[in-house]
Structure 1
Amino acid sequence: MRLVVVSAGLSVPSSTRLLADRLAAATAATAARASADVEVEVEVVELRDLAVEIAHHLTSGLPGRRLAAALDAVTAADGLIVVTPVFSASYSGLFKSFFDVLDRDALTGKPVLIAATGGSARHSLVLDHALRPLFAHLRAVVVPTGVYAATEDWGAEGLEGRIERAAGELAGLMTGLSARVPKARPAGAETTVVPFEEQLAALRRSG
C-alpha cells in the first residue's frame, strides 16, 4: 500500500515537513495496527526541490524527469497527505502550481488528508476555506479532520490528538474503502420487485 506525502515547505528544517512526517508515521502505524497484512510504503514529495521544473512545465507543458516521477507517484498512491505553509491566508503558490500540473483525474476518489502550518492560529480556517474546496474540486475524498499547526501548537497536547484522529481517518479509508463498495450484480441476474402492498401486508402480519 502506497502513501504519498506532498510537502510544500520552503525552509530547511521545515515545520511543514515535520508535520508531514508526523502525519505519515501516524497513518502507517494505524494501518499496521488495523491489519497485520498491511504494509505501508511512504514516499515524500518535496515541492521545494521541484520548483524550477514546475515553473518550466507551466510554460512548456513538458514535465522534467523528477517532476514526472512525482506526478506519477501521486497518481498511483493509495492515499495522500498534503501539507502547505500558509501564505496570504491561503496555500502557497508552489503548492497550487503542483496540483495545477497534475492530471485533472489523478485524484478522483483518492483519500486525502489536508494539513497546513502557520505562525498564528488565526489562519487555521485555511483548511476549510482553501484546501478543502481545492481537493473537492479535484474529486478527492478528503478526510473529515484537517490538521493545522501554528507555532504555539508544537509540543501542545491538542496537536498530537488531531494528528492521531486524522491519521486514523486516512488509514481507515485506505484499508477499508474498497471493502465497503457494493459488489456489482452479475450480468443477466434478475431483480425481484415486491409490490408495496405485499411488503405492507407482511409487516402487518409480523407485527
Structure 2
Amino acid sequence: MSRRTLAVVSAGLSQPSSTRLLADQLAAAARDELVRRGAEVELRVVELRDHAHDVVNNMLTGFPPAALREAVDAVTGADGIVAVTPIFNASYNGLFKSFFDVLEPGALTDRPVLIGATGGTARHSLALEHAVRPMFSHLRAAVAPTAVFAAPEDWSGGTADGALRARIRRAGAELADQVDHRLPASGPVDPFALTTDFAQLLGGGRES
C-alpha cells in the first residue's frame, strides 16, 4: 500500500469558517478516492490565520519562524495540495497570496493542486479562473481542471447542497488521479541545499 500526503491550506479568517469547511470536504473527497485506489493517506491541515504574523515576519526577514517552517514543509513536502481562499475584492485574500509568496522558487513545480474559494455571492466565482488559477500556473503547479466555488446559498445548514457535493466529488477525484499517477513526493524543498558541488564552485562553476 502506497502512502500519500495531502496538504490542506485554508485562508479563512473567521471561526467557524466556510473556507475551512470547503477545504475539509475537498480534501476528504480526494482522500476517499485515493483510499479506494489502495493508498494510505495523511491529511496535513494548514490554517493560515494561525500563521499570519509569522508570514509577515518571514517576508520582512527572509526566515520563517519554527511554526511557519513546519507549515511550509507540510505544503512543499505533500503529494498534493488543496488550497482554498475567501474572495476579497474579486481576488484571493492577502494572507493566502503572502503564504505562497514565501515559498522557495520551484517548490510547487509539477505539484498537483486543487483550488477552491468561498465568497458572499456566486459572481465572485470568476476569481478562481482570473486570479487563483493563474497564480498557481505561475508557480508551475499542476492545477486540477475543476475549481470549486461555494457561495452562501450552496450550503444548507452547514452541509453542501447536491450541486456543490457533485463538484466536490469531481474535483477530489481529479486531484486523486493526478497524485496517483506521480511518484511519491521526495519531501520539502531545502532552501540551503547546494545545487552545485564544491569542486564546481572552486572551479568557477566549470566542469572538469
TM-score (norm 2): 0.83
SS at match of 1:6: strand
Indicate the RMSD between aligned Cα atoms, in angstroms.
1.1
CA–CA distance in 2 between the matches of 1:13 and 1:21?
12
The answer to whether the aligner puts 1:82 opposite 2:95 as a matched pair is: no
Question: Structure 2, unaligned stretches of length 5 or more?
Answer: 185-208
Aligned residue in 1 for 2:28: 25
Aligned residue in 2 for 1:161: 166
Aligned residue in 1 for 2:178: 173
Q: In the TM superposition, what are the counterparts of 1:52-91 in structure 2 within 5 Å?
A: 52-91=53-92
Aligned residue in 1 for 2:199: none
Q: Deviations over 1:73-98 (max 9, x none)?
A: 11110000000000000000000000
Any runs of at least 4 consecutive aligned residues in structure 1 with deviations exceeding 3 A, and if so which?
none
Deviation of the 1:151 alpha carbon: 0.5
Aligned residue in 1 for 2:187: none
CA–CA distance in 2 between the matches of 1:104 and 1:158?
37
SS at match of 2:40: coil
Q: Deviations over 1:112-171 (max 9, x none)?
A: 000000010000001100011000000000000000000101132110000000000000
Deviation of the 1:178 alpha carbon: 4.5
Q: Which has the larger radius of gyration?
A: 1
CA–CA distance in 1 between the matches of 2:114 and 2:135?
12
Aligned residue in 1 for 2:126: 125
Q: In the TM superposition, what are the counterparts of 1:83-102 in structure 2 within 5 Å?
A: 83-102=84-103
Q: Structure 1: which amino acid aligns with 2:6?
A: L
CA–CA distance in 1 between the matches of 2:136 and 2:46?
17
TM-score (norm 1): 0.84
Aligned residue in 2 for 1:51: 52
CA–CA distance in 2 between the matches of 1:108 and 1:2?
17
Q: Which has the higher helix share?
A: 1
Identity of aligned residues (%): 58
Q: Deviations over 1:163-186 (max 9, x none)?
A: 00000000001112349xxxxxxx
Question: Structure 1, unaligned stretches of length 5 or more?
Answer: 180-207
SS at match of 2:9: strand
Q: Deviations over 1:90-110 (max 9, x none)?
A: 000000000000111110000
Q: Deviations over 1:4-39 (max 9, x none)?
A: 01000000000000001111111111111122xx10
Aligned residue in 2 for 1:199: none
Q: Structure 2: which amino acid aligns with 1:29?
A: D
